[in-house]
Structure 1
Amino acid sequence: MKGPFLSQILTFVGVDSNNGIYPLAYAIVETENTDSWKWFLECLGDDLDMHANSNFKFISDKQKGLIPAIAHIFPCAEHRYCLRHIYENMRKVWRTTEYKEHLWNCAKATTIPEFETLMREFRSYDVEAYEWLINIPPHYWARSHFSGRQFQICCSIICVKFSTLIKKCIGPLTPTGERLLQANISSASQYTARWNGVGKYQVKGPWHDQHVVDMGQMTCSCRKWELTGMPCKHAITTINEMADNGEQVGELYTYVHKVYWLETWKSMYYFTVDPIKGRSMWPKSDYPTTLTPPPHHKQP
């Protein structure tokens, strides 16, 4: 912050059901260090009913003191690094577009064999860049190494724009959820499923793409259903095969995680923050203590 009392603003945002940035909390602290982050995370945990064993995921660009603070306050949480910041550090040395494509292809792979294949391609393209990237543990940035634990966060915020937009939406899913589902439905038309007799299906498509769908566990060996909460093209092919064989499968949207449901999006923006009156109408405090500005420390 600018001004006579230089401070830092710590912020915490999430993603709403329509893949939009969702402000959750902010705090003004004297400096950015482990103690400040611990205090901020403790307050955040109290407000959102998060406990030490909560299975949340935090994504950051490795700010000062944040990593040890998360490990101390939420030891069961998973920490991820922002891929955009990793790429910004990479492009300081390797500037061409091909490096970005290799990085993002490796990061988007959903299975470890696919990740290893793409990393070998990257190594054959540039050994030095590969060695730089492999020094960052893949469980921090590669989707193939992520667990399938899912979560959602809801809180109050004043937002008339989103409330108006939500009222115009129809259907069971948010616009983003519907778009993702329709894309998978379109891709599923090229695949066929074969039942093994005990709840599992072998799904085969073009380009030697073959995976196993377990409808009992609602998982696919491609891991996209598990990682995103959205049934992949292999799962949709399986559901269509089940319906063709006379099984009662229900509506397709019921296989989508509720984080994408329109009713979830509505509940996130249902409560609002009340407007307040001007300073001249604020009640005067009788509390004997006077709050003074924080001590001034000259920043480097």
Structure 2
Amino acid sequence: MFPVAWAIVSSEDDECWSFFIHHLKIVLQQGDRGIKWCLISDRHKPIEKACKDLWPEVDRRYCCKHLSVNFKQTFPGPKMWQLFWLAAYATSPFVFQKVMNQIDKAKPSARVWLANLGEQSRWTKHKFDTLIKCDVNNANFVESFNATLGTNRVRPLLEGINPF
């Protein structure tokens, strides 16, 4: 997994995400890989809308690091945290079902919470499309990149300056 594009926009709204997804699709589909791409992000509604409207065939995954934070806030404790990650990293339906049964036994509402995420192919490895040669279910690399920007992320842009 690697970031292939980034944009500086005024906000993370529908219009900006549509702009980004539109241009990302055009650039990526010009290569030899065609439409077999996977986008990993949080469940931010404008991202979902832009993908659904502009690139419905792209494989979508949710960043489990983001999901785990929300899960942990709703279902605190080390056992629930561990069960979440076992479910996310399960590579077979058997293991996944075993973990989901443990979640159901420990906290039935947690299983409902996970079911409300939608398609399992967006967050648990055993449902990933095998034609996409990537088994990653988090965006840690991108988060690390963002962290390196530090306070520079909030600085204003200089317009009209050509760095070359």
Task: Compute the TM-score of the two structures, normalised by the length of structure 1.
Answer: 0.41
Higher helix share: 2
Higher normalized strand content (fraction of residues): 1
Does 2:114 match 1:133? yes
The one of 32, 35, 49 equivalent to 2:15 is 35
Letter in 1 for 2:132: Q
Aligned to 1:90: 71
- Hey, what's the Cα distance between the residues in 2 that align with 1:281 and 1:140? 40
Specify every segment of 5 or more residues in structure 1 that has no aligned partner in the other structure, as ranges.
1-14, 16-21, 153-226, 229-278, 283-300
- SS of the aligned residue for 1:27 comes to coil
| 1:148 aligned partner | 130
Structure 1 segment 8-23 matched on structure 2, within 5 A: 15=1, 22-23=2-3
Whichever of the two has the greater Rg, that structure is: 1
Aligned-pair distance for 1:280? 10
Q: What percentage of aligned pairs have identical amino acids? A: 24
What pairs with 1:158-197 in structure 2 (closer than 5 Å)?
Answer: none
Structure 2, unpaired ranges of 5+: 137-160
Corresponding residue for residue 65 of structure 1 = 46
Kindly indicate whether the alpha-carbon contact (under 8 Å) linking 1:54 and 1:76 is maintained by their aligned counterparts in 2: yes
Note the aligned Cα RMSD (angstroms). 2.7
Residue by residue over 1:16-75, the C-alpha shift from the partner in whole angstroms, topping out at 9 and shown as x without a partner, is xxxxxx342221222322221121122223333358x60211111122411121122222
Secondary structure at the residue paired with 2:74?
Answer: coil
TM-score for the superposition, normalised by structure 2: 0.71
Is the 8 Å Cα contact of residues 41 and 63 (structure 2) preserved in structure 1? yes
Specify whether residues 57 and 50 from structure 1 end up closer, same or farther in structure 2 by C-alpha distance, changes over 3 A only.
farther
Q: Structure 1 runs of 4+ off > 6 angstroms?
A: 279-282
Tell whether the 8 Å contact from 2:90 to 2:96 is kept in structure 1 after alignment: yes
